[in-house]
Structure 1
Amino acid sequence: MSEADPGAAPFFLRAEGEAAAVMRARDWSTSPLGQPEEWPQELRSVVALMLPSKFPMFAAWGDELGFLYNDAYSQILGEKHPDAMGARFREIWSEIWDDISPLIDRAMSGEASYFENLPLTMNRRGFDEETWFTFSYSPLYDSSGTVRGMFCACTETTDQMLAERAASTSEQRYRTLFESIDEGFGVLQFLPTADGEAEDYYHLEANAAFIAHTGIDDALGQKVRSRLPDEAPRWIERFSAVRKTGIPVRFEERLEETGRLIDVYAFRVEPKELDQVALLFRDITAKRRDDERLRELAATLERRFEEALAERKILADIVENTDAFVQVVDLDFRFLAINRASANEFERVFGVLPKVGDSMLDLLADQPEHQADVGAIWSRALAGEEFTEVAEFGDPNRARRHYEIKFNALRDAEGRLIGAYQFVHDVTQRVEGERRLLETQDALRQSQKLETLGQITGGVAHDFNNLLTPIVGSLDLIRRRHDDDPRMARLLDGALQAAERASTLVQRLLAFSRRQVLRPRATPVAELVENMSELIRRSIGPRIAVELDFAPDLKLAQVDPNQLELALLNLAVNARDAMDGVGTLRISARNETIGHRPPLNAGDYVRLEVSDTGRGMDAETLRRATEPFFTTKDVGHGTGLGLSSVSGLVAQSGGDFALASEIGEGTTATLWLPEAVDTGEVSTAKRSSAPQEARTAAVLLVDDEPLVRDGAAEMLADGGFAVASAASGGEALKMLADGVAAEILVTDYAMPGMTGIELAQQARALRPGLKVLLISGYPAEAEADDQLKTIPRLDKPFRQDELLRALAELG
């Protein structure tokens, strides 16, 4: 065991949080761990790791496994906290000791283990409760390599497991009721119609009783008009009346499929926007059976004979005229029967019209691939197998479709196998619909991934701005003080350029994540492009011609002009790389009125296009071009954020972005920008002028980041200001109450305990007339605060001249 420094103070004296406070207050003479000053360094390191963590953790050390934990774990302990601090592990969790002691033994023998959703019955609040935990146990070693304790990181999953249990129980109850009731129940979904098409519905849900009563065992997914062509108009008329008015209807109807008479109750499924109608019905055939029986007894033998003949004719007509494809084949693959629909479909798919007596295999002799497919599936049926499957048939040059095929064996009166028959339905639309559904689900998953990635990049941008602020400010100050040293000035200029590039990368991250703050205003796009044309030419080189073409009546666009400049520079640089520095870059703009075309709303737009004569992109590259971090450039030569940031800017501005490209034909990027409604303030994002002269004054500077605070204080002091600094809003208010000299308050927005807006309000209550400048490393978080509109703001990172200019503009 390593020796601790006898004179060292307990390391948790400086730690924050409730657990650390309990450690400081505890009498360690009664703990099996002994005094903290005597703890080995290994234990000290583990506790120092645990205390600031937001994830529940604990450690147990020594022969009696003295127990130590952090704030997050105290929530799991319940009423056992704070007495559990320093106590024996076994005494704390005596009620679950039998369950966890084997796991502890494994850890103490040097084996790390992980357990997911382990059920435990715990007593944390004076009563037993069922809980679940996901956790890991790891051995802790002393300096000699001996296991002296164990470490646990855990999370409670009780709420999740109880919710899943409740959802499963509820779903099971619903499904049991749905499938067990004798009443038929089904849901029909309205199909949106194009111009000139009749309204239609398809079967969305059906219980077992629905199938039993109707005899429609393959209804799901089928359209009403195609499934019941003769009955469809009157059914659809009722469905549409219920769907549109919300008024239920009740009626009797005889089903053609089964001959059953049903009492139907139809009602709209809410909310109305679902466009669904539910049917609940019961079989009332038995109620009318006696009447039917009396009519049958009254019929004469001749009538019975005529009806029998008619029945056979009807059956033949149904088979002949049904939409289903019906084929009957003998053991030699010859057609014994085939209805008109099947014969026509066979000809459409394979190019030859079959008739009774033809050999199926002979008809396909000149199409060996299709002959093999058809022969293989029919061979199974002709061997006596009865089955249903979905298969694809047909010549790709003619028509290749998906079919649901039900095969049955054909037997004579003695039960001998003499052939097979099939009922076939074209399910191409259903298969295509299922494919589109899978594509939609995949697109949704990708969207969720991008949203998560956007949240991550937004947070990274926030931290990066805080890091860049002291870097940019310090380099700027040093550059000013070494202006007479050419070599130093060159090195500092390079460092400043790198910092500016990093700042630009942050802006791209914010644009991609759609967390940048936009200040849209009425912007004359043509004037903006012309003002920055020289910058574009310098950026893409002298061998690329730049052509500008703008409609003379071009309207103002509602967009942030600074961000639009950045987007155009991104597109210009991409075009330069695609043209290898030689070619023509064309920027044009026209007015365009658009109807409803998601994601664009109907209205007037400025259509801005940037075209090049470069190498172009293939279909796969074009599809992925706007994905974040996707780039075709070599490692180190592109971030992959250029096009995604342009797309983010346009989407955040209420417009749309599209790319069109072909190999060897160049690329065109199109930006649809909403027409400006309020043209009171017109801007073209001109470059900022030299800093205004700022009078010196006493400044109170507040920022919780020491590097940002120290760097800004140095800039202010160098500019002639008297500076007092505070690390938090509470400290700043105390300094003001104590009389610190301050005419201006410069404060960060996002700080622990109190935002810059809240600090400004309370500071002005103490010092009426106090001027306030807000600085923010993540503008989007402050932009949501309505109070921000009344307070000037400077975004991080900033140089000294930008800070002094902002102070001068305070008046």
Structure 2
Amino acid sequence: MSQVAPDAGRVWLLAVEGTWFERHWLAVVITTVVTAAFVLIAMAYRQHRLTRALLEQVKHLRDAKSEARRRTAAHQLAREDLQIAEQVYEALKARSPLAVFIIDAAGRYVSVNHAASALLGIPEDRLLGMSHSDVIARDQLDRAGADAERTRSGEWVKAVYTFRRGDGALVEAEVHSATLHDGRAICIATDVTEARRQDERSRVELGVVTSVLDGLPMRMVVAGLDGRAIWMNRRWRLEKPASGDNLLTAVDVLAAQGMAWAATIASSYRAVASGVRENAVDEYAEPGTGRWLRSYIARVDGPSGPLVVLSCEDVTDQRAALSSRDEERRFVSAVIETVACLVLVIDREGRIVRFNQACSALTGWAPEDVVGRHFGMLIPAEHRGAMIEEFGSVVGSGAVRPLEQELETRGGARRLVNWSNAVLRDPEGRVEYVIATGIDITDRKRLETELVQAQRMESVGLLAGGIAHDFNNLLTAIFGHIGLAKRAIGPTHPASDSLERVEQAADQAGRVVKSLLTFARREHAEKRPERIATVVSDTVRLVQGTLPATIRLVWRACPQDVWVTCDRHQIEQSLLNLVFNARDAMPTGGTISIVARDIPAPEGVESPTGRAVSISVTDTGVGMPREVLARLFEPFFTTKPRGEGTGLGLPIVRSIAQDHGGIVRVSSQHGQGATVEIVFPRGEPGETTPSVVRARGDRVLICGPRPYARRIIASSLRAAGFSVEESSDAPPGVMPEAERPSLIVVDLSNGDDGWSGYAHRLVAVEPPLAVIVLLAAEGAFEFTSERVEVVHEPLVMASLVRAAHRLVSGERSVGTFRDE
């Protein structure tokens, strides 16, 4: 043992040292520890059980508390719903149009609404405490008491009672009664007084209708869809079919016996009953009697479903009357449609109800296009208002008078009609229809006008024939002495210009005489085939120099293959007159358009080819009002100031057109210019002539791309005596000898290589052609032919004319001319 003082443990160990415990101390310790662990585990398990039990108690307490809260909320909601229901009930009771009574077990009213008070005429506060016995008629109290007992037993009772109102009046009400959950009763009443009165009136009316239907001279029956008769009038009952009350059975039996009318009625009945047709009307001859019957079958809505109404009427006399009336109508209609005069029937509202064939033929409107429309559609716009006012006067007063009024056709033409009118009145004496009969007097008026014009023309002809010979003799002397004087003094004399003007005036005087003779048909027209394009282009060139700078002239000619057989001078004269009229209509300037067209031959132009040529002259001037258009072709009528117009221009144009088988058409509106169109029948081509026509002197062909240059050159060469033709295309290099011109002028001044090549080929032609080449100032052209000359710009016409004369006469030139 140690000598150091030991602690308590150490002493204990020393005490047992060498004992059993010393040998087995480890087992003892382990056993002690295990025992303590088991004790601790047992104590922990017991504590767990106690904790779990406590938690379950807490959960039960929480669930119980939640259930208590849910039940409290449900009770609160139930109380709120009950309050809302009571409020809704009170509101419905107060506002409902139905009378509501709440009755206690003793039969007293404990609650009523405003409708109940209004029904009985008693204030609500007085009604409370009263009972049915106080307001229901005494003779109905027993029945009311029995109904109350049935209500208290749980039945729903419906009854009609007579109530005594507060003012003593009686009302009938339909009452519905039931028991509430608290033992009280509720009664809901509806006023049926007026409904029952209406039912009574309906029963009376039904009786009256039945009596009327029984008195009708026709058989009538109401049946079901299967043909079973439900009601029939007295006439049908007297003649009821032997097969019983089923209509289909009866007619099927007759149809089986070969009666076609019965099969027709059976088919119609089934079609109406099945809804395929809404109604059916059939007529048939009654076998063996010669009478005609008409059956009407219709489907109607009955109180318990659809029904079929069948009636049969004797229409023998009616058919005879209708046949007679139809025959009379056909006769009258045939008379109206075959008479030559116009027949127009108009109702009091101005609508057309009859439009005969003469009206249709005159206006171009088919009857179905105008019937039902206002008659104003046939009247020109400027007269429509006055005619409608005149028609209103006729309808109002019934007074009619004859009048002349134009009709406007469907195509816009106008026809003058002389109208005679009559009226038809209704039973009250009011004008119901206006019958207008008319005769077309357009042609008669035209003939009268033409007669007056012919008389005037005869006077002009006598005048022109008397003076023309002497006047032409004087003009011949004037022209002869002017020519002598010009040659005597030469072109440089100061009086040369005056002589030119005198010659122009004399020429114009000759044209005036010629126009007078043409208008009077005293001059013979020399007609031959002419290309209209050439006539128009020559006239344009002639007139261009006479127009002021403020007027622009445009023109378009038709193709070269369009010919007219005419007197060229007269056609040119007509175009000049139209252009001068257009010029005078534009004092401040404007545009004149000349257009030549190939068109189908219009009405009034007889053409063997079916084609015609139209030449129109249009200006942008002041135009013409309708009253001027109406007198446009009257001889000596003019709108120009005195001394500035003869009034013969347009009459001469129309006279020339008519002499050539053509017409003249004019369209104009005041302030919008005018168009005058001359239409001639198209003719056959004339004899083949060279491409360049010899008018006078040697023939010259001018070729080049510049049209204004060609026109200037052509005017100068014509003035020098040459016959000139222009072309924007190059002619063929090889020409027959008869078609070769004396001179060709080629314009190369714009430097076009194509034209330059053409010119080089042209000068190489054999035998050589006479050619003038126009070049720019700096241009050059190499050539070897002796018959070629070059003229440079700036171009002086005198130099060009001299070169032309030298080449045509065969004189040798120096080759190139350049004027300084």
TM-score of the aligned structures, taking structure 1 as reference length = 0.34
Which protein has the larger Cα radius of gyration, Structure 1 or Structure 2?
Answer: 2
* Structure number with higher relative contact order (C-alpha < 8 Å, ≥ 6 residues apart): 1
